[in-house]
């Protein structure tokens, strides 16, 4: 392995970051290299063909404010009851999608609320007259998101998303909800998709309880193999510092110390030549060409007591290089559409 560090300045999204150029010797098998170029046979909206036999519950607009790939905001018409007048109003609100939230989601509670111990029923009125029911927990998480969108109202979690088959269309910035057992038309040999197993195997060690979310199992040598979170809430893909091998961590620490002594503050990151996932058929696929940059960040506290090694997060900077993503909890499949 040959590793080198170089510092570069970037006047765009990153002020500066460290690049770890990793070159690894080829083994007996080589991962397929995935790129952002879809096959010529791809139709304009491939999600339409894969779910043509399914009957949608409804659609919602997606928006991605912020730097890099942006935060995933879902626009949901939300029913609001005005108790003093006895009428119901429907207002368009945005919600951050975060699959680390294990319940239906969270909402920004009014300042007058004194009890946060119970959930509140919400109804989302989708086009076509369909209604999605959710029980959201009050709180004040992500209040700063209102600076990005004044209609921001909270977070949609994995508890709600796993009740449906969901299709993210990044060409039209649209999220479509389908019934949980909706039919699809995806052939096993379709080269325009990557079919992955949904990994939801993390447990919290001190209570042996589940921590529901969606993971990818990733090999990114020379880093130790580990789980990577499917992070719609993260604009930039990340490697968590505890996941770095000792040699890489030493180089990063030296550069960080050098910056500190010089009074500089700039993000530190690395470039990965390999970011290998395995599909349901056992094929190794290298996603690094879709976005090799990874920010190096501390591991979030929510991952500290897991029984699986957590490497990092795959953010929207990489996820949105695909034309779409299908999450099918009923069949345990996560499908990337090229």
Q: What is the pLDDT of residues 260-281, one digit of tens each?
A: 788 777 778 889 999 999 999 9
Confirm if 75 and 93 have CB atoms less than 8 A apart. yes
Any domain includes 272: yes
- Does residue 97 share a domain with residue 19? no
Find the DSSP H helices in 164-245. none
Domain boundary among 163, 185, 206: 163
Of 60-69, 181-190, 251-260, the poorest mean pLDDT is in: 251-260
Which domain, by its residues, includes 333? 1-56+193-338
Whether 83 and 130 share a structural domain: yes
99 in the same domain as 32? no
- Indicate if 130 and 277 belong to the same structural domain: no
> What backbone torsions phi and psi does residue 331 show, to the nearest 5 degrees?
-105, 0
Mean pLDDT score, 31-49: 65
* CA-CA-CA-CA dihedral for 287, 288, 294, 298, to nearest 10: 50
Q: Is residue 247 part of a domain?
A: yes
Q: What is the mean pLDDT of the segment spanning 306-311? A: 94
41 and 119 housed in the same domain: no
Asked whether residue 177 is assigned to any structural domain, the reply reads: no
Asked if residue 173 belongs to a domain, the reply is no
Residue 258 domain-assigned (yes or no): yes
Residues 37 and 119 in one domain: no
Same structural domain for residues 226 and 152?
no
Note whether 109 and 66 are same-domain residues: yes
Instruction: Provide the number of structural domains found in the chain.
Output: 2
Domain assignment of residue 5, yes or no:
yes
240, 295: one domain: yes
In the chain, count H helices and then E strands: 4, 25
Residues 266 and 338 grouped into a single domain: yes
- The average pLDDT across 11-40 equals 49
Indicate whether 82 pLDDT > 80.
no
Mean pLDDT of 53-72: 95
- DSSP label at residue 223: S
**Residues 172, 174: Cα–Cα separation, whole Å:** 5
Q: In degrees to the nearest 10, what's the CA dihedral of 102, 82, 124, 133?
A: 60
Residue 72 belongs to a domain with what CATH number? 2.40.70
Question: Is residue 47 domain-shared with residue 70, that is, in the same domain?
Answer: no
What integer pLDDT is reported at residue 262 of this predicted model? 81
Q: Which residue has the higher pLDDT, 260 or 311?
A: 311
Residue 168 lies in a domain: no
In a domain, 332, yes or no: yes
Please, which pLDDT band fits residue 87 given cuts at 50, 70 and 90?
low
What pLDDT is recorded for position 27? Answer: 44
Cα–Cα separations (whole angstroms), residue 331 to 162, 164, 173, 268, 285? 11, 11, 25, 38, 21
Q: Are residues 48 and 114 in the same domain?
A: no
For residues 57-65, average pLDDT: 97
Share of the chain above pLDDT 90, in %: 61
């Amino acid at each position: 392995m040959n590793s080198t560090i170089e510092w570069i300045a970037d006047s765009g999204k990153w002020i500066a970051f460290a690049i770890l150029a990793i070159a690894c010797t080829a083994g007996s098998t080589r991962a397929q290299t995935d790129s952002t170029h879809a096959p010529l046979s791809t139709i304009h909206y491939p999600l339409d063909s894969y779910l043509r036999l399914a009957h949608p519950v409804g659609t919602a607009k997606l928006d991605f404010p912020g730097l890099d790939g942006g935060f995933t905001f879902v626009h949901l018409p939300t029913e609001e009851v005005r108790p003093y007048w006895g009428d119901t109003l429907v207002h368009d609100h945005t919600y951050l999608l975060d699959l680390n939230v294990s319940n239906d989601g969270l909402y920004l509670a009014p300042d007058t609320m004194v009890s946060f111990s119970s959930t509140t029923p919400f109804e989302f009125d989708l086009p076509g007259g369909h209604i999605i029911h959710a029980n959201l927990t009050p709180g004040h998480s992500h209040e700063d998101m209102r600076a990005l969108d004044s209609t921001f109202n909270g977070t949609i979690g994995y508890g709600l998303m796993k009740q449906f088959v969901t299709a993210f269309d990044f060409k039209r910035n649209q999220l479509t909800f389908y019934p949980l057992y909706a039919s699809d038309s995806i052939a096993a040999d379709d080269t325009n998709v990557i079919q992955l197993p949904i990994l939801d195997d993390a447990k919290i060690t001190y209570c042996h309880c589940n921590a529901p979310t969606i993971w990818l199992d990733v090999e990114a040598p020379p880093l130790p193999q580990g789980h990577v979170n499917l992070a719609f809430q993260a604009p930039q893909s990340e490697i968590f510092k505890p996941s770095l091998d000792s040699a890489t961590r030493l180089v990063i620490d030296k550069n960080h110390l050098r910056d500190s002594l010089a009074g500089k503050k700039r993000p530190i990151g690395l470039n990965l030549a390999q970011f290998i996932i395995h599909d349901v058929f056992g094929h190794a696929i290298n996603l690094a060409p879709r976005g090799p940059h990874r920010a190096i960040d501390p591991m979030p506290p929510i991952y500290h007591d897991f029984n699986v090694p957590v490497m990092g997060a795959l953010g929207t900077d990489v996820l949105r290089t695909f034309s779409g993503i299908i999450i099918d909890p009923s069949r345990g499949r996560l499908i990337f559409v090229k």
